[in-house]
Structure 1
Amino acid sequence: MTRAILAAAAVLAMIPPTAIGQGDDLDKRVEEAIASGVEYLRREQAREGHWDYRLAHNHRLGMTALCGLALLENGVPADDEAIRKAAVVVRDLAAVSDQTYDLSLAILFLSRFQGTTRGELDALIVRLARRLERGHHEGIWSYKVPSGEESSVGSSRFAAFFSGPGDHSNTQFALLGMWAGGRHGFDSDGALAELDAHFRSTANPDGGWGYQPGAGSTPSMTCAGLMALAISAARPSLAERRSARARGEALASDPAFREALEAVSRRARSIGGNEDVYYLWSLERVCVALGLRDLDGLDWYRSGAESLLARQMPNGGWPHGRWGALPESCLAMLFLRKANLAFELDRVLKLPGPAIAQADSIGATPVAEAPEVGTTTGDDGVAVTVRQVDESGFPEIALDFEVTGPDGSPVLDATIDDFRVSEYDQPVEILRFGAPASREAVQTTVVLVVDHSRSMEAEDRIGALKESVRTFLKVMPNGSRVAVVAFSDEIRLICPFTTDARQVQEAVDALQPIGGTRYYDAVVEALELLSEEPGRRAVLAMTDGEDTFSQFADLGTAVLAARRSGLPVHTLGLGTEDEIASDDLRRLAVETRGQYFPARDADQLLAIYEEIATRLGQMYRLVYRTKRPLPDGTLRPVSVAYRASAAVGTAEVFIRGMVVPASGWPRLFLGLVVGLVLLAILPGRLRRRAGLGPGA
């Protein structure tokens, strides 16, 4: 069953986008609900910047951090007055707090508020994470932790004993806090190892966990246990010995993880209209962090969202429920936003999933051995590569192609006499020709697809992206038109097509890291945006991690969309092989006549953007007129031969139009066509026989 859960998204991804949620207004209703929720939280904030919550203890710190986190995750910027005031409260109260819930939420908020992995809040975050770590007793936390900064592990166990027995609710918050602290220099390895051992030793026979060890399994605590196993599998000591994919594969085959995932999947099928909000948030946190779009075919997000939307109050909040209106409203908003509080888990723990299944389904040639599509290298090492076929001017067809020498450097001085073009192996006349060395400008139109997911905070990758785009714009051919599609767990056109480089740069400079990775949806969006544009065109799609949350597209559908449009997709992977889906990025490029560029660091990324911009200006363009001017819906083979070599570039151009069935047109259809022709011809002939003019 677990394999079915992990692979079910691969089946869903094969359904055309129009068949999924066609005409559905769920996204619109969610956005409206979130907007109302944001206003509700703003109204509930005290003038001094805090939110209050009392449940056997004054949790002002925890409530302020949770409300601030919900606002940040739902689009309120860090420099908003409400967030700035909340940050002051959290910093002041966290310095003296000994509450597990409050400290964990404070770390999550401060990390999100800072917005980068390195900054002025690092020292405070690490100090709070260390205090939190000292509160566990053999991998389980209670409500309180030792307040002394110099407390030892032994004294923390003594304090934990007197603060009451541990529970898995406090523990899951501590887990998230320590994981977030790891992004800022805190070493959580030892605590995560003990936490892993604890959950493995306390699992119930049904694969789940209860509020405390030995208690019956509950939905939210089973989600907590599943998350604990996942985060523990990504702890630093394991990361040093295994790749992200290897860790993911090992976890997916782990009996404890499989049984817990099956238990989570079973319970999700019974989500009802009055479902516990804390449970829904726990479910969302697990599924988003692990990249699970569905659970054994169940759309968990739709089920939970419908339950929450039906209960939102007119004031924008959610009913008091078990925990109170403020916390339930925050958790509901985090669910609806698909907030990933297990920061960057998807980067260091890659479960086997649909992207792998889809990649394996496209061609049998291993990616590492796949040659560039349509490229033949001559005996002298010269190569011709057709990058784009444009049939928008049919019956005239334009080809954009490169010629490279034995060392890979571009050949820029060839003339029209150096090439011959064939369609269906029959030579055709070249009507117009443009060489890189000529001064004739070829309109170049590019869509930049840029990643601003949460993982782009690492090593200031977002900053490297902004500088790389700046270089790209400087090197692009004069008059080029550029648009920018930005993605995290949402897709936005942040800059429409423009020749104004400053407008493009300002749009990219405004990006901040947030959310997950919706890469393939963004690529397909860019292809649709570019499909109606004339001239030389390309998609340049950059990411620093695997796709974790595309809703409609996958590797296969992105390739098909590019092929239908005749557009190349150049892919850029920023990071190590363990961090990016390099095989998938390479395949997407190869299958669409683009190129794959791996960048291990910021310097390489900048050089790659510069190289791509330069190469876009180093292509040849020729236009020929097809000898078959009927738009018959055929896929026509075309080749470009370089006379000075045996190098030949090949392509296929799809001509939109009617296709004659293999068995011929049905007789009834032919009869109707003949009848329409006769109706058009006969009246004129009858008038001529009667000696009448055209206007009679």
Structure 2
Amino acid sequence: MQALVDMLPAWLPTFAWPWLWLALPLPLLMWLWPLREEAGPALRVPYDPARLHLQEAGRRGKGLLCALLLWLGWFCLVAAAARPQQLGAPIEPPRQARQMMLAVDLSGSMGEPDMQLGARVVERLTAAKAVLADFLDRREGDRIGLVVFGQQAYALTPLTADRATVREQLRDSVVGLAGNETAIGDAIALSVKRLREQPEGQRVLILLTDGMNTAGVLEPLKAAELAKAEGVRVYTVAFGGSGGMSLFGVQLPGGEDTVDEQTLGKIASETGGRFFRARDTDELAGIYAELDRLEPIKSAGPAVRPRIERYVWPLGMAMLFGFIGLAWRGGRR
């Protein structure tokens, strides 16, 4: 039935309560009601037959016009009561979104200038911001929140469809804002807390860090158990270069990679996510493109046509006809 209604032209009205059209003959039924009281005896007076005939014909013509106006008013009133509606232009419903938290490491090591962004050598956090901004642009329809962590974890934005606000908060984040150490477990736990009330199957956490857990109350693997229990998929991204020192933007040999890849891999596998390793900006951009594929935004459902109420027009016509008919009748008297 709905499919047939949707096939109707946009200009053709439909009625929400068509059964109210059954009230249309109600005044006629009342006029034909057999128990009406008979008119009382009339006063007999002398009269001129020709003059009375002309007066009667005039009254009959005016009475027919008055009855026509009142019937038109009643017709329009019933039409308004039946709720005429018009189908609007098709509207595509919003896409089914993911509920996604981004957890970004702001510890001291994220200030290491060992990343290439275009022709410039930049800090790790600057490179991560550029890639994450592009990732946010592609997540139209998702609700995204931002958690930053260092020695402690903080929620900068709640889950929101306003990606511009998330991008702005990310842009204003600086190294050391949450302390110089790394509390990976606390960041996971805080993100899970923000996601636990969201629909099942849509809870996603993407965690980016360049180090290992050195602070916080909760161990990362314990936090992973909590995420698994709450149905949160955790994608971990280990980000950073070789771990050597840099001098005037030139990477020097030596040093070692301090990223705890083993723990990050266990967190991802335990929660049904995946672990990624990025040693430069291009690899990081490829990882977030892969995350788009792993967590797609579902396509929109079939388009719907809104129903626009049009009862105002017949209601206004009913009032107009009724007013004219009653005024005409009163003038005759």
Please report the TM-score for the alignment, with normalisation by the length of structure 2. Answer: 0.51
Matched, 1:521 2:186: yes
CA contact (8 A) 1:589 1:595 kept: yes
Matched AA of 2:231: G
Corresponding position of 2:25: none
Render the CA deviation track for 1:522-563: whole Å, top value 9, x for unaligned: 111101110101251200011000111122x11331121012
Q: Secondary structure at the match of 1:529?
A: helix
Assess, with a 3 A threshold, how the Cα gap between structure 1 residues 585 and 461 changes in structure 2: closer, same or farther.
Answer: same
CA contact (8 A) 2:152 2:186 kept: no
Partners of 2:129 and 2:183 in 1: how far apart? Answer: 19
Q: Secondary structure at the match of 1:591?
A: helix
Partners of 1:439 and 1:604 in 2: how far apart? Answer: 35
Partners of 2:167 and 2:289 in 1: how far apart? Answer: 15
Matched, 1:554 2:225: no
Give the alignment of 1:231-630 within 5 angstroms: 441-459=95-113, 460-476=123-139, 478-514=140-176, 515-534=180-199, 536-551=202-217, 553-575=218-240, 576=242, 578-617=257-296
Partners of 2:220 and 2:152 in 1: how far apart? Answer: 18
Render the CA deviation track for 1:584-625: whole Å, top value 9, x for unaligned: 1011000110010110112211221232134311679xxxxx
Partners of 1:556 and 1:470 in 2: how far apart? Answer: 29
Matched AA of 2:239: L
Matched AA of 2:213: D
CA contact (8 A) 1:486 1:493 kept: yes
Assess, with a 3 A threshold, how the Cα gap between structure 1 residues 578 and 471 changes in structure 2: closer, same or farther.
Answer: same
Give the alignment of 1:90-239 within 5 angstroms: none
Matched AA of 1:467: A
CA contact (8 A) 2:152 2:215 kept: no
Render the CA deviation track for 1:274-307: whole Å, top value 9, x for unaligned: xxxxxxxxxxxxxxxxxxxxxxxxxxxxxxxxxx
CA contact (8 A) 2:96 2:297 kept: no
Matched AA of 1:572: V
Matched AA of 1:511: S
Assess, with a 3 A threshold, how the Cα gap between structure 1 residues 556 and 601 changes in structure 2: closer, same or farther.
Answer: same
CA contact (8 A) 2:147 2:155 kept: yes
Partners of 1:596 and 1:557 in 2: how far apart? Answer: 17
CA contact (8 A) 1:471 1:610 kept: no
Q: Secondary structure at the match of 2:127?
A: helix
Partners of 2:281 and 2:143 in 1: how far apart? Answer: 25
Assess, with a 3 A threshold, how the Cα gap between structure 1 residues 555 and 468 changes in structure 2: closer, same or farther.
Answer: same
Q: Greater share of strand residues, 1 or 2?
A: 2
What is the identity percentage for the equivalent residue pairs of Structure 1 and Structure 2?
29
Compute the displacement of 1:572 (Å).
0.4
Q: Secondary structure at the match of 1:506?
A: helix
Matched AA of 1:475: R
Matched AA of 2:148: A
Render the CA deviation track for 1:76-124: whole Å, top value 9, x for unaligned: xxxxxxxxxxxxxxxxxxxxxxxxxxxxxxxxxxxxxxxxxxxxxxxxx
Partners of 2:154 and 2:146 in 1: how far apart? Answer: 8
CA contact (8 A) 1:467 1:606 kept: no
Assess, with a 3 A threshold, how the Cα gap between structure 1 residues 579 and 487 changes in structure 2: closer, same or farther.
Answer: same
CA contact (8 A) 2:213 2:220 kept: no
CA contact (8 A) 1:449 1:485 kept: yes
CA contact (8 A) 2:191 2:205 kept: yes
CA contact (8 A) 2:186 2:220 kept: no
Partners of 2:141 and 2:187 in 1: how far apart? Answer: 25
Please report the TM-score for the alignment, with normalisation by the length of structure 1. Answer: 0.25
Q: Secondary structure at the match of 1:573?
A: strand
CA contact (8 A) 2:94 2:141 kept: no
Corresponding position of 1:409: none
Render the CA deviation track for 1:343-399: whole Å, top value 9, x for unaligned: xxxxxxxxxxxxxxxxxxxxxxxxxxxxxxxxxxxxxxxxxxxxxxxxxxxxxxxxx
Segments of 4+ in structure 1 off by > 3 A? none
Partners of 1:484 and 1:446 in 2: how far apart? Answer: 9
CA contact (8 A) 2:111 2:124 kept: yes
CA contact (8 A) 1:464 1:606 kept: no
Q: Secondary structure at the match of 2:151?
A: coil
Matched AA of 2:160: T
CA contact (8 A) 1:468 1:610 kept: no
Partners of 2:270 and 2:94 in 1: how far apart? Answer: 30
Task: Report which structure shows greater RCO (CA 8 Å, sep ≥6).
Answer: 2
Structure 1: gaps of 5 or more residues: 1-437, 621-696
CA contact (8 A) 1:447 1:540 kept: yes
CA contact (8 A) 2:107 2:151 kept: yes
Give the alignment of 1:42-81 within 5 angstroms: none
Partners of 1:603 and 1:452 in 2: how far apart? Answer: 20
Render the CA deviation track for 1:424-465: whole Å, top value 9, x for unaligned: xxxxxxxxxxxxxx9972221100000011100112101011
CA contact (8 A) 2:221 2:263 kept: no
Partners of 1:599 and 1:591 in 2: how far apart? Answer: 21
Matched AA of 1:607: G
Larger radius of gyration: 2
Partners of 2:259 and 2:220 in 1: how far apart? Answer: 14
Corresponding position of 2:53: none
RMSD: 2.1
